[in-house]
Structure formats: structure tokens, C-alpha cells
Amino acid sequence: MLLPRIFIPFAAGYFLSYLFRVVNAVIAPDLTRDIGLDAADLGLLTSAYFLAFAAFQLPLGILLDRFGPRRTEATLLLFAAAGTFVFGTSETTSGLIVGRALIGLGTSACLMAAFKSFVMWFPSERLPLINGIQMAAGGLGALTATAPVEAALQFTDWRGVFMGLSVLAVIAAAAIFLIVPERESEHAEASFRDQLRGTASVFKSPVFWRIAPLTVIVQAAFLSIQSLWTGPWLHDVAGLERGAVAEHLFLIAASMVVGFVANGAIAERLARFGIKTITVATVGMGALMVVQAAIIFRGADAPLALWMLFGFCGTTAILPYATLSQSFPSHLAGRVITGLNVLAFSCAFLSQWGIGVIINRWPQSADGGYAPEGYEAAFGVVLALEVATLAWMAFFRKNVKA
């Protein structure tokens, strides 16, 4: 009975976290119409989630290692509930940004708290699969943010959707606080200075810097595109109507759910034959780059197939988290994964906003859509950065083992 008590509440929190992260891809036309946004505005307000999320990662690592995942996440989810209410009642771009940032702050622990708890309670050989199933819960949240949200918009507006989500965030916070068992870390009473030294030791590690650049840039690219720009691309480049866009986003999210579970299971199985998880992750991230290149050059020819592959392959970017968490002492697990996350989500903020800035260099169409050439240029820049970090990984591999 221990696994359900730990897994289900954290999975519910991460479900909501991913729903919040992705929902703007569906409601983007409503935000653009109601508030009067251009591509840069839309990218900035949506990416405010990533900025606040990233800004809190280093203190979050200390909180997770000192106070534990249960209390930390339950408290922060109340901030997400408040941010959802602010977002749903705002009439201005600045109000939306504040609400979105509060949501990012409030959900900043949803995955890291789960990973920390799994490290505390379960054997290391089970972590890739358990982490993958946890990520699948997030994929279900992304799935719910597509066609189901579009269906809900037939009965209410985007503001009504956010009022409902605010209530769900409060319920998730209560479930985590009341159901998840407590296990104190033997390092929970370490001084604040010692906690900071532990954080510094993570960032000084060559193992960390061998794995981090590729993981960070690929994760940032996947998050920034999948959580916002896929929806507008399907409309502006592939020429799909709103209902078809939601259906495509639903299937892309479904491919993510399959990818999180399948890739975690594959990594766990191959580890029994001596194939390292980081090797599986690197191959998967390389495949993602191939898919992105196909989307840039021939995406309109087969949008559903390519974007579903994008969703499936993009999930491999989470596998290095398990590798890194096992490469350091367990009492540093929270700071290891949040250290990686602060970089990934900072880059996701810059990527999501930057894509909008690049797209804005081409004129909007009469119906408010964006030029296909803008997407091609923006996605091309992102892909070039990913390829560069893959080259870094190949070079660094000669010097550091992980």
C-alpha cells in the first residue's frame, strides 16, 4: 500500500502542473482576441510560468532536502491555486503575467518533489520506470489540456476553466499533505550554510556539466514548443481549423504519455544488459532532433505523424534526471534535480519568448495568424542550439564518465 500513497497524490499534482503548462496552446486564440496580444506578448506571458518556475528551483532544492517533499509541495500548490484565480480574473497583459508567474511558482515542486520522494522510498533500479510513470501523469495533464479543454469551452469561457482549475489545485494540495507519508532525511537539520555548500558541490561537478547542457537545451526546446507553439503552428502552417488543432494536440499528448512509460521501461530493461540510461536518453534526444528537422522542412505534409513522434521522442529528455540523481549522495538528490531544472526552465522561458520574438519579424495575416516562414526560422534556431549541445556531449564523453 506504500506505493499508491506516495505515487497517486504526487501524480495528481504533476497532472495539474502539466495541464497549466500546456493549456495556453488551446486558449491562445481566446487570449489573443480578448486581451489583444501579438506573438511576442503571447510568448512572454506564457513563458512567465517557466521564469518563475526556474527562479525558485535552487531554493526549492534546499526546501525539499530540509523539509521534505510532502510539506513543500502541499504549500506551494496553494500559490498555484491563487495564481490560477488571478489569471482567470485578469483583464490586462500584466495581470495575466502575474497570474501565470504565480502558477509557475506554485507548480515548481510538482515533479521534483515526486522525484525526491521516490529517491527516499524506492530502490535506485526502479527509478527510471517509476519516474517515467510519474511523467505519464503529466502527459495525461497535457492531454486533458487539449480536446477536453476545447470541449469545456463550449459551455464556459477560458476564465471559467481557470476558476475550476483553481479549486482542483487546492484539492491536490490537501491530498498531498494528508495522504503522503513522512520520512525525515538524516541531513534535514544541516545548517543553511551547509545546504548552500551542497548546492555549490552539485554545480562544481564535472559529471553534472557533462550531462546538463544537452539535457537542458533539449528539454527547453521540447517544453517551449509543445506547451505553446505547436497549436498555432498547426493552424498557421498546416492550415487546420480550431477543432482539428485540439484533436491533433490531444493525440500528440497521448504520444507523450506512451513515450514517458515506454522510454522509462526501455531504459530500465536495457540497464539490465549494461546499457546506461544516459545512452538511451542521448539516442532518444538525437531522434527528436531528426523529427524537428522534418517538421521544419516537410512538416505540413504529415503534421500529425511528425508531431506525435515529436511528443514520443521528447520524453527521453527526462531520463537524465534519474542518471544524475543516482550520481550524487541521496541527501543531495533534491538539489541535483532542481539544479538541472533551474537551467532547463530558464532556457524554456527564453526559448518560448524568443520563438515569439522571431515569429514577430514576419507580418501577421489578416486573420491574426503568423507567417510560416517565422516558424521555420524560429524552430531552426532552436534546433541549431540542440545540435551544438549534442556535439558538446560527444566531446565531453571522452573526459568524464557518468
100: Cβ contacts below 8 Å, ≥ 6 apart: 45, 46, 48, 49, 52, 83, 87
In a domain, 269, yes or no: yes
Please tell me the predicted confidence (pLDDT) of residue 303: 92
d(CA 165, CA 363): 35
pLDDT (tens digit, 0 to 9) for every residue of the chain, 402 residues total?
A: 666 788 889 999 999 998 998 898 888 888 888 888 888 888 888 889 989 988 898 788 778 877 888 899 999 999 999 999 999 999 888 999 999 999 999 999 998 888 788 777 776 666 667 777 787 888 889 889 888 998 898 889 999 999 999 999 999 999 999 988 876 654 455 555 666 677 778 888 888 888 889 999 999 999 999 888 998 999 999 999 888 998 999 999 899 889 888 888 888 888 888 888 888 999 999 999 999 999 999 888 889 999 999 999 999 998 887 777 777 776 676 677 778 888 998 999 899 999 999 999 998 877 778 899 999 999 999 999 999 999 988 887 544 444
3-state secondary structure of 66: helix
Other Cβ atoms less than 10 A from the Cβ of 161: the count is: 23
Burial of 1 (0-12, 13-18, 19+ CB in 10 A): exposed
In a domain, 252, yes or no: yes
Please tell me the predicted confidence (pLDDT) of residue 125: 66
Range of the domain at 200: 2-178+195-396
Considering only CA atoms, which of 60, 128, 190 is closest in space to residue 324? 128
In a domain, 190, yes or no: no
How far is residue 115 from each of residues 24, 33, 76, 134, 343, measured CA to CA in Å?
26, 39, 16, 9, 17
Please tell me the predicted confidence (pLDDT) of residue 246: 87
In a domain, 184, yes or no: no
In CATH, what number is assigned to the domain containing residue 285? 1.20.1250.20
Eight-class DSSP state of 36: I
5: Cβ contacts below 8 Å, ≥ 6 apart: 179, 180, 181
Other Cβ atoms less than 10 A from the Cβ of 264: the count is: 28
CA 163 to chain centroid, in Å, comes to 22
In a domain, 186, yes or no: no
In a domain, 188, yes or no: no
d(CA 194, CA 400): 26
CB 219 within 8 A of CB 317: yes
Query: How many domains are contained in the chain?
Result: 1
Cell 506578448 appears where?
A: 41
At 311, give phi and psi (nearest 5°): -65, -40
In a domain, 303, yes or no: yes
d(CA 144, CA 97): 23
Please tell me the predicted confidence (pLDDT) of residue 185: 55
Distance between start and end Cα atoms, the chain: 34
CB 276 within 8 A of CB 288: no
CB 43 within 8 A of CB 163: no
d(CA 205, CA 98): 35
Three-point CA angle 167, 86, 161, nearest 5° = 50
Alpha-carbon dihedral 155, 158, 159, 160, rounded to 10 degrees: 30
